[in-house]
Structure 1
Amino acid sequence: MSLLPPKGPYAVSTLTLEIPGGKFAKNLIRSPFRYKNDPSKVDPFGFQTTLVTLFYPTALKEGVKSDKLSSPALGKPLSWLNEPRLKSIEGLLRYGNLSRYLAYPAVFILPFQAKLPYGSDGPVATESPSLLTPDHQEIESPADTAPPSAKPNTDLFPVGVFSHGMAGTRTTYSSYLSELASHGMIIASVEHRDGSATYTQVKKKDDDGKIIEQDRLYTKFDDLEFDQKENGEETTVWDMRKSQVNLRKIEMLEALDVLHQLNEGNGDQLAQDSTRSFDNEQAKLSQWKSRLDMENVWALGHSYGGATSIEILRDEKAPFTHAVVLDPWLEAIPKAGEGAPLKRPLYVINSEGFTIWRKHFGWLRELVNESNEQTGRGWLATITKTKHTDFSDFPFLMPRFFKPAAGVEAPQAAETLSVFSRASRLQFIDRFDKSDLGMPVRDERAGEVEAKDLGQGGFVVWHPLKSAPSASL
């Protein structure tokens, strides 16, 4: 099976930039970790560069329901796996505690040659982002229910920064991100250099302007040495996770700064600074000026990226105004009441696998409650009979390995994708309504989470909050 082309009215393009650190990177505190047997004592959680792939609308299709493009031919499609691909496969095997010598046999199993089903380096769409709803109806004005600071500007493209999960990369969630882009949204997908990516390559310029490359595979706690704590306690894997989250937040802020630079008209300078080559004559980054809604900036993420997005909402100085997160993994961050309070809206879509993880789901409900009590906005929902990996591209590329449990009637991957992409984009434009999700919605039943059984697949379960938002939220 292959990746599906996005269904929205816009054709989609990608563009990859890698630029040196800016104003946020200098605030990163050095971690107490270093790689074992590394005489240079490099900080494995030090900032390297900002590496992002932009998913964005490039032109309206000739027909809203047609896959044919009305734009000029775009550049070559981006590879789904980071290159060199054998390194990416080796990183995946390392994450799964499998021998690197399986990398070559894995070529015949994993989506080795997979390409994203759209071109690259296209110009940003010239049309106004007016075709955003599931039935492609125009939006006339922001919803009256939104406070002034949360109302989207319908003349500008909504924007977000996406943070990937453990063993992910900036392209692992391309189905979700391209679907958002096909409905008129611009997403900067970060590739984290905290050791959580299966494999990433850092490209920097030395003092002479020559590009030097550094490979980094998935990093484990056992790969590291660390300084002794002042109180004599042992350093644990959770200290490592804290250092990772600190770096991840900086990388999200730097990615957001890339969007700011584009919106301020500095696209040509970004093209010049980037160590990843692309066709700027075709992309015309200078034409992105004043096209993005930088007053309403979304943090997005899955799993570890969901936790990162929640943490960045806690930072009052961070310019993110809301977050949509998918199956956030919360063990790496403070619980509700332990960290800074969540004073910005948080919207969460869970898989059933994470919802029936009862202790973890209790932590999640408390966080969403905290956000809802502070802002009067937010929601928490679960898609029944889904798994943690269903938010990624894996069910499309490897359906035999990521199929539903035997005997379980679960929604197909495309149907699941449609639900959480619809929920995300409708929330982006403040037009969210449960009836528009394209899947039956029901309220959580008493005791079903505790019983670890949410019933048959193909439903969205709506979870109650302490201070329930209005029906339009």
Structure 2
Amino acid sequence: MANPPQANTKPLRRSAVKPRKTFRELFLHRLPNYNGPYNVGYMDIEVPVRDPRPVSKLRRNGKPVLRLDTILMGIYYPCDLQTSTGAEKPHRVDWMPRPRAATAKGYAKYLHIPALPVTAYLACTSLFTKLPAFRNAKLAAHWPEDICNDSGPTGQKAREEEGDPTSRPKFPVIIFSHGLGGSRLCYSSICGELASFGFVVVAIEHRDGSGARTYVSLPSNVEAAAIESSTAEIHTNNDGKENDAKDKKVQRRRKEGLNPYYVVDYILPKDNAQDTSPHNRRGVDHTLRSAQIELRQEEVKEAFHILNLLNSGHGDDVASLNLRKKGNVASSSVGLNGVNWEDWKGSMFLNNVTMMGHSFGGATTVQICRDHTLEWIGQGVILDAWGQATPPAGENRKERIAKPLISISSEVFMHWKDNFDKVVEFSDEARESGALCWMLTIVGSTHLAMTDLAVLYPQWMSILMKSMVNPTRAISLTITASLEFLKIVLPPEQTKYNMWADEQLLQSAEQPPEPTEPLRTDHAPDHKWVAVRLKIPNEFSVRLKAWFRRTWRFVICAGREVADLAHGLHDFGEQEEIWTHMCPTHEKVEEYMNQFR
């Protein structure tokens, strides 16, 4: 009989391995590798909700506009690649949601551009781009190598826990809500980066008509023809009930007996198509937007329910219900094959969950933080919120934000005064409740700076939107500020072994004067470009100097990696990167942190 391993046996150390570049990535658009100590795994889960139903009273043509039938989410998580070898080695994830060509057409429809040129351009650039994340990889069961190598008491405790076969890491959880035109994959630079630092990040793909295009699979026992919706395009497998009986794909699905599905494209506000524009005299269509946020709130609750099932050891039950599997529309052929659900049991902290969102997802985050029935929500991270779409706060204190909050905005939205005032309004709402609150702006950034589009198409962002910040640096500042915030507000058991980026962005900030006006206006655009792009004074000379600076640095670096020097007009060693509009005093931060000690 073999001797059992000794308790003091030194465990195998594992650190992040950079994914190899594909042949296409040598020449075409690619996403940068993540910087945290973990590799990143990814899996798609779509399961029926507990109570399928129309959501809100909003109707068009006598039918409900919004429905809740399934919940679709992409889960980014810390993984261990070194335990997966041979045929079981996981593959990288496609960036463009499947079916890719149809999704590209959805983006064309959303942008009001002919589908052929959009699809052709994406095919030549990013249609086949892959995430530096691996589908269904093994959940990490180790602490970061640098922590375990630390000679201090923290490293000693980490080594003891890692050497104990009954002890496994538990990871904090973030739920991410996308903006208009978004999906569960188009914020992968932020979601994957957070996962590489030891978070489980759940990116929900909302079915509220805010995305460019999404596919809703239905269980085989659902009578698709009975689903009432004024916006969903239903496809079934029943004779005579397809929208287009001549469609070859529909006929193939009927022949193969696959599940029915419906398609939800971007829903335009009725008689107010440009309600996102600062110049729209009618303002935001709050009837539609509030209904969409209502649906998003229900989706967040369903996502948390699934996380509870995974964490309590019922992963196999979730997998049995999963609709993103081989043969079903928009699914990977891999499905959830290879996932060891036992690894997920007890793997997450489901108290003090962080709600995070960009643009319309920021408005969603505000409303989620106002919902005091969601006791498991601990704090909110708001990225460039569309403040105009945020429902007004209730008069009742129980309908107002009372959780720690950080708002990180782009400079282009800072110059949109009505939106800036709204962000100040809900930030004050949190501060008046006694909660810690920060309000920051990333200098030189535009609204898409926090999405993958800025990383994949930096030249277009610079030329069309006058973005002046390096896109990878903008993502880095967003991540760093968020991690510093979470290091302050999360309980110590969730942060004790962190290897998070820390540039003292929050701790070094001094209490500013009341944020009644933006700090600087030299980049403020002309009125017609408000919220769309910035203004670059002396643009030609500025760009020429930036080009010479990058070229000189490239020569000095002698061919080494200089991606962090490209595509930015400013040298941030020479000026501020972040403006602080609002922050708590150092004493208040210390008082908050002392409650955990």
TM-score range, shorter chain: 0.7 to 0.9
Q: Secondary structure at the residue paired with 1:126?
A: coil
Shift of 1:354: 1.2
Q: Secondary structure at the residue paired with 2:351?
A: strand
Query: Which of the residues 314, 322, 325 maps onto 2:379?
Result: 322
Query: Which of the residues 96, 99, 106 maps onto 1:84?
Result: 99
Shift of 1:48: 2.2
Query: Which of the residues 340, 343, 357 maps onto 1:284?
Result: 340
Contact 1:369 1:465 in 2 (8 A): no
Shift of 1:136: 9.7
Q: Secondary structure at the residue paired with 2:128?
A: coil
Moved more, 243-252 or 97-106: 97-106
Query: Which of the residues 445, 470, 474 maps onto 1:386?
Result: 445
Contact 2:381 2:405 in 1 (8 A): yes
- Alignment-derived partner of residue 178 in structure 1: 192
Shift of 1:95: 1.9
Query: Which of the residues 151, 163, 171 maps onto 1:157?
Result: 171
Contact 2:37 2:144 in 1 (8 A): no
Contact 2:290 2:391 in 1 (8 A): no
- Judged with a 3 Å threshold, the aligned counterparts in structure 2 of structure 1 residues 275 and 13 are, in CA distance, closer, same or farther, namely same
Shift of 1:405: 7.0
1:55 matches 2:105: no
1:43 matches 2:64: yes
Give the residue type in structure 1 aligned to 2:305.
D
Q: Distance in 2 between matches of 1:423 and 1:31?
A: 39
Alignment of 1:292-371 (within 5 A): 292-318=348-374, 319-336=376-393, 340-371=399-430
Shift of 1:238: 2.0
Q: Distance in 2 between matches of 1:423 and 1:139?
A: 27
Deviation per residue, 1:255-308 (Å, 9 max, x gap): 121111111111111111101124655221232111111111010100000110
Contact 1:384 1:457 in 2 (8 A): no
Give the residue type in structure 2 aligned to 1:398.
Y
Deviation per residue, 1:300-357 (Å, 9 max, x gap): 1000001101101111112312111110112122245668211111111111111121
Shift of 1:415: 1.3
Contact 2:369 2:379 in 1 (8 A): yes
- Alignment-derived partner of residue 416 in structure 1: 474
- Alignment-derived partner of residue 123 in structure 1: 138
- Judged with a 3 Å threshold, the aligned counterparts in structure 2 of structure 1 residues 469 and 245 are, in CA distance, closer, same or farther, namely farther
- Alignment-derived partner of residue 2 in structure 1: 30
- Judged with a 3 Å threshold, the aligned counterparts in structure 2 of structure 1 residues 386 and 139 are, in CA distance, closer, same or farther, namely farther
Shift of 1:188: 0.6
Contact 1:129 1:156 in 2 (8 A): no
Q: Distance in 1 between matches of 2:523 and 2:286?
A: 31
Query: Which of the residues 557, 578, 592 maps onto 1:460?
Result: 578
Shift of 1:452: 2.8
- Alignment-derived partner of residue 504 in structure 2: 436
- Judged with a 3 Å threshold, the aligned counterparts in structure 2 of structure 1 residues 164 and 406 are, in CA distance, closer, same or farther, namely closer
- Alignment-derived partner of residue 247 in structure 1: 295
Unaligned runs of 5+ in 2: 1-28, 156-167, 223-256, 273-281, 326-333, 489-494, 525-569, 593-597
Deviation per residue, 1:165-220 (Å, 9 max, x gap): 00000000001111000011001100000111111111111218952122222221
- Judged with a 3 Å threshold, the aligned counterparts in structure 2 of structure 1 residues 54 and 138 are, in CA distance, closer, same or farther, namely farther
Q: Secondary structure at the residue paired with 2:353?
A: strand
Q: Distance in 2 between matches of 1:438 and 1:427?
A: 7
Query: Which of the residues 181, 201, 209 maps onto 2:215?
Result: 201
Contact 2:358 2:383 in 1 (8 A): yes
- Judged with a 3 Å threshold, the aligned counterparts in structure 2 of structure 1 residues 406 and 88 are, in CA distance, closer, same or farther, namely closer
Unaligned runs of 5+ in 1: 60-68, 142-153, 225-233
Q: Secondary structure at the residue paired with 1:425?
A: helix
Contact 2:437 2:584 in 1 (8 A): no
Q: Distance in 1 between matches of 2:145 and 2:200?
A: 14
Deviation per residue, 1:353-403 (Å, 9 max, x gap): 111212211121121122122133121111100011000001121122112
Q: Distance in 1 between matches of 2:324 and 2:90?
A: 14
Moved more, 268-277 or 448-457: 448-457
Shift of 1:140: 4.6
- Judged with a 3 Å threshold, the aligned counterparts in structure 2 of structure 1 residues 72 and 389 are, in CA distance, closer, same or farther, namely same
Give the residue type in structure 2 aligned to 1:72.
S
Count residues in correspondence.
433
Larger radius of gyration: 2
Q: Distance in 2 between matches of 1:137 and 1:71?
A: 26
Shift of 1:100: 3.3
Q: Distance in 2 between matches of 1:137 and 1:416?
A: 34
Q: Distance in 2 between matches of 1:97 and 1:470?
A: 49
Q: Secondary structure at the residue paired with 2:92?
A: coil
Q: Secondary structure at the residue paired with 1:293?
A: coil
- Judged with a 3 Å threshold, the aligned counterparts in structure 2 of structure 1 residues 274 and 344 are, in CA distance, closer, same or farther, namely same
Shift of 1:251: 0.8
Q: Distance in 2 between matches of 1:5 and 1:221?
A: 38
Moved more, 84-93 or 183-192: 84-93
1:217 matches 2:270: no
- Judged with a 3 Å threshold, the aligned counterparts in structure 2 of structure 1 residues 105 and 434 are, in CA distance, closer, same or farther, namely closer
Q: Secondary structure at the residue paired with 1:49?
A: strand
Q: Distance in 1 between matches of 2:195 and 2:113?
A: 35
- Alignment-derived partner of residue 66 in structure 1: none
Q: Secondary structure at the residue paired with 2:262?
A: strand
- Judged with a 3 Å threshold, the aligned counterparts in structure 2 of structure 1 residues 11 and 438 are, in CA distance, closer, same or farther, namely farther
Q: Secondary structure at the residue paired with 2:318?
A: helix
- Judged with a 3 Å threshold, the aligned counterparts in structure 2 of structure 1 residues 407 and 21 are, in CA distance, closer, same or farther, namely closer
Give the residue type in structure 1 aligned to 2:67.
G
- Alignment-derived partner of residue 114 in structure 1: 129
Deviation per residue, 1:47-104 (Å, 9 max, x gap): 0210000000012xxxxxxxxx534154332221122222222222222222334444
Give the residue type in structure 1 aligned to 2:294.
N
Moved more, 50-59 or 93-102: 93-102
Contact 2:43 2:74 in 1 (8 A): yes
Give the residue type in structure 1 aligned to 2:487.
I
Contact 1:205 1:212 in 2 (8 A): yes
Normalised to the residue count of structure 2, the TM-score between the two structures is 0.65
Greater share of residues in helix: 2
Moved more, 159-168 or 315-324: 315-324
Shift of 1:468: 7.8
